[in-house]
A = this chain, B = another copy of it.
């Protein structure tokens, strides 16, 4: 699994603007053949460099309450708690972090009741959680998936 060269990065640069761009279109933009684009995209997909997904607006599909939750865990329990959190549909992101909280998660809920249930029932019953710090999103300013500078 080698490094990405300039053409690979250029392909990603175009796809990050619009995941629906065709091989043909990208080929023209980069002045190489369609087959080259296709081969490289398939290689990057196989190597897990990126994947084609859709990004839904949570509000538009009825998930009106978004929260970021910091968790402090008992030493040695972090991994197991992370795996438990993993299994919740509501949880979009979980990571272990250095800093104030051992775990940070992002989760989407239909309404406040569901958030309260998640925190007071589900989190509350997990062994090894020492403290929970809930932040509720009031306004979103940016949510970008374009990491590549052109």
Give residues in A with beta carbon < 8 Å to B. Answer: 4, 9, 12, 15-16, 18-20, 47-58, 60-63, 66, 68, 70, 82-83, 85-86, 89, 91-101, 104-105, 108, 133-145, 147-149
Contacts and interface: CB of A to CB of B under 8 A. Distances in A.
21 contacts: A12-B61, A15-B54, A16-B56, A19-B53, A19-B54, A47-B60, A50-B56, A51-B54, A53-B54, A61-B148, A68-B68, A68-B95, A92-B142, A92-B143, A92-B145, A93-B140, A94-B142, A95-B141, A96-B139, A97-B135, A97-B138
A92 B48 CA distance: 20
What is the count of identical protomers in the complex?
A: 2
Contacts of A100: 133, 135
B19 A147 contact: no
Contacts of A12: 54, 56, 61
Contacts of A53: 16, 19, 53-55, 145
B49 A57 contact: yes
A32 B64 CA distance: 30
B68 A97 contact: yes
